[in-house]
Amino acid sequence: RAGAEDALLALGGCVLNLSGLWGGTRDPRQWVERVARTKEEVRAKTSLHMIHGQDVARAILAVVSSGEGDWEGKCKGQRWMLTDGFVYDWWALFAGWADREEVPGAAVKGDGEVEVGGDVGREPREQARWVYELMEEEGVRALPRSMEVLGRAYDGREFWRTFGLAPLKARI
């Protein structure tokens, strides 16, 4: 892929590097069991960067809609990193997605009345339990963890600023 990108750039093209793509059937909540099968895999998880497919489509439209003069200034030979502007903490996501059923504790009855409670006997995902164990073990007092702990933070502001846009679907 890198070679093809370099060739495209050399020809005056433009590359949009996507952080983690989500939207539609690509729901990061469904990745939990695949990306963190063990407590050690949870321990190793730090930052995550995402971009929604709708924002990718908007970015592509902005690039291909660039006029002749704009292409030279904004697009030709450019490589852009697309993110929604957030740095997510995998641990915070695992803890926030503890409920496999993804029921937030309230359901709407047929008459529109909100029922609070739900199945209080349901158990959280194993990954969420591991996060709380790891917080104790590593002295993490609250989530999300600090940027010093998370490490990598992509800065995707330049694309949005250059094209006068902002992501519509920030916050997974």
Q: Where are the alpha helices (DSSP H) in 22-125?
A: 32-35, 39-44, 53-64, 68-70, 90-96
Residue-by-residue pLDDT tens, the chain, 172 positions: 889 999 999 999 999 999 999 999 999 999 999 999 999 999 999 999 999 999 999 999 999 998 777 888 899 999 999 999 999 999 999 999 999 776 344 454 555 555 555 667 788 999 999 999 999 999 999 999 999 999 999 999 999 999 999 999 998 8
What's the token pair of residue 87? 């740095």
Name the residue type at position 104.
P
The reported pTM is 0.83
The residue extents of the domains of the chain are: 2-163
Q: What region does 112 belong to: left with phi over 0, alpha with psi -120 to 50, or beta?
A: left
